[in-house]
Structure 1
């Protein structure tokens, strides 16, 4: 949807379900990120002997991924007050079908956009989620599966917002999940992408890589008028969204940050928001020496001198990098920060990197009354997403 076309409806978030290494629900996640209490522990879920790094942010007793995702979907839908929406049922259809398209007034099927890691079990997990939700909360099944690496969930949210803004649907459900497993862990370790010292230190001197994390997250994105008619709680508004692809390298970001800067600029333009109005950035901040520097340069391209007063942190420093679920988990963090008025800490800090020049949130949570915050994500291959969140 073009940023120059007036939206038919404003997308808002009315439901949120979260499961992370910080605990079940948004409360433990918010408490952890605002105080910099990291969730990283020694990996004992599988044999990590011989790996350069043996730490990750893990759930102590993880459910199967499909079950975990179905659980956060239930939490999000119940918070959004969808239990009694027409089309809900306590007896799911054993043969769910995908729905994609057509206008969606209140009470008609709600699309489910699902972000998962692409592997031999993706179809099985998606089918398990579809079986769990079919016929409940007005969801007929899984509409679309996103496997676009670390921007998968951000892309799904942008699509959901566009479906709402265009008037095609009254509400869209977005869900994502990732559990740290031996194959991906080994690949990241072999590629020297994991932090050698077992700490994720975004934008810090001495940073050496990322650490993986578990997560399952779901959000209900809804037209503001629909939420008002139902008396549903509005947690935040999706004011703008932007996507870009720089295709510079299979795993390295374009060094000057141009690709991410375009995604951020697109999100701001779509919302009609001046860069100086943004009061917080939940950065991609993976702890990679190259990626963090490119992201800092991207922010400098967009915000100029305003960057000197713009608080920045990466909540990955606390909950880890949840790959395909990262963007949704970090969106949940950003929504919580705006609602609570407390900005997350950039944990793992050792000292400043003189090449970056960011106003990082350090030592403790920073109070804020800002109206707008950005949540940013980038992926291998040069894909970028930017979600501009507005406080209610």
Structure 2
């Protein structure tokens, strides 16, 4: 199949199926209601003993859900919403984002070979009737958004008609201990994105899947697109192993690339779903990136981080927040930036405060960043 060489030749990418689980519960409707209510899901951890930790809060489902089961459920849900019969699913690849599983490293060496990350992606594809999993992403908080961008690029270039993307993370004691030891977790039970007095992040459960498809392929089979994925951008700043560039250079380049691919100017963006981890370095750098990329429009675009509601879902962040952005486009309500205590001069943005803001957006920008200076931006548009 020939590869397109100009924007006019590229296939339009749409989302035809979506399913999501967060600490609020399973399904898009539960998340929709939670975004409207604007009440964070954080509570004292009951899944494991966090009594010796500085931070004892997270956003997680009750009990001890199994990641593989949750992933299979959201993939099946997204495929069903997209109206894909078994034969169509059997020809569709899976791109998969997940957190590294510390339990694998604890197994005997003789057992580890069959329990690596790529094997988990292949197992998920087999369990859900998909063609296979050629790529499994573990690149921290941009894992899922990178998978989405790669899937969109495959479709836009005509190399695939449709791709399923899935990502998942469930709150676990190893990651909680690691972030707690690094003093990255908030000790006051709240993730206060872009706020004065913010203490750090809190982790949360997040599992989601989407079906990305070329608009022409969706049209041929009569599938109803839910959202257009207009643009995607990726950039690195390689400034520090943990800290973003304080001027937001990498994030700004990712935003500019995504808007350029989407053919949209900054003033055409109606809402930014920010990365917003509630850490001092990230939030100020992300603010700088928005100002650098948006110029004089930066103070006018509404911004919130829904991590302040769901918690930071790590490798699943990009796909959970894609689902959030889709619901924003459908519902005409901008989610609140929760936990806000007051203005930080380094985070001067038009933050959505107090409660969800009524607004019918046309175009939404979703941002993610990761350790090592990786940055992603996705541009979605209402159908």
Q: So what's the TM-score if we normalise by structure 1? A: 0.91
By how many angstroms is 1:35 displaced? 2.4
Partner residue, 1:44 = 46
What aligned pairs does 1:1-392 form with structure 2 within 5 A after superposition?
Answer: 5-86=7-88, 88=90, 109-121=91-103, 123=115, 127=119, 130-134=122-126, 136=128, 139-392=130-383
By how many angstroms is 1:364 displaced? 1.4
Partner residue, 1:103 = none
Determine if contact 2:235/2:254 at 8 Å carries over to the other structure: yes
Determine if contact 2:72/2:127 at 8 Å carries over to the other structure: no
By how many angstroms is 1:311 displaced? 0.4
By how many angstroms is 1:57 displaced? 0.3
Structure 1 distance, partners of 2:67, 2:25, is 16
Structure 2 distance, partners of 1:167, 1:191, is 44
Structure 2 distance, partners of 1:16, 1:168, is 22
Structure 1 distance, partners of 2:61, 2:4, is 40
Structure 1 distance, partners of 2:122, 2:175, is 24
Gap runs ≥5 in structure 1? 89-108
More helix by share: 2
Question: In the comparison of the two structures, how many residue pairs are matched?
Answer: 371
Pick closer, same or farther for the CA change 1:339–1:128 going to 2, 3 Å.
Answer: same
By how many angstroms is 1:61 displaced? 2.6
> Which region of structure 1 is more displaced relative to structure 2, 345-354 or 277-286?
345-354
Partner residue, 2:110 = none
Q: What per-residue deviation string (whole Å, max 9, x for no partner) do you get for residues 243-283 of structure 1?
A: 01111001011000011000000000011111100000000
Query: Residue 355 of structure 1 aligns to a residue in which SS?
Result: helix
> Which region of structure 1 is more displaced relative to structure 2, 77-86 or 156-165?
77-86
By how many angstroms is 1:129 displaced? 5.4
Query: Residue 326 of structure 2 aligns to a residue in which SS?
Result: helix
Determine if contact 1:3/1:270 at 8 Å carries over to the other structure: no
Q: So what's the TM-score if we normalise by structure 2? A: 0.93
Q: What per-residue deviation string (whole Å, max 9, x for no partner) do you get for residues 272-296 of structure 1?
A: 1111000000000000011100000
Structure 1 distance, partners of 2:6, 2:308, is 36
Pick closer, same or farther for the CA change 1:230–1:62 going to 2, 3 Å.
Answer: farther
Query: Residue 228 of structure 2 aligns to a residue in which SS?
Result: strand
Determine if contact 1:3/1:266 at 8 Å carries over to the other structure: no
Pick closer, same or farther for the CA change 1:129–1:355 going to 2, 3 Å.
Answer: closer
> Which region of structure 1 is more displaced relative to structure 2, 228-237 or 371-380?
228-237
By how many angstroms is 1:144 displaced? 1.1
Determine if contact 2:203/2:312 at 8 Å carries over to the other structure: yes
By how many angstroms is 1:130 displaced? 3.4
**Cα RMSD between the aligned structures?**
1.8
Structure 2 distance, partners of 1:230, 1:174, is 20
Determine if contact 2:195/2:340 at 8 Å carries over to the other structure: yes
By how many angstroms is 1:86 displaced? 4.0
Determine if contact 1:65/1:125 at 8 Å carries over to the other structure: no
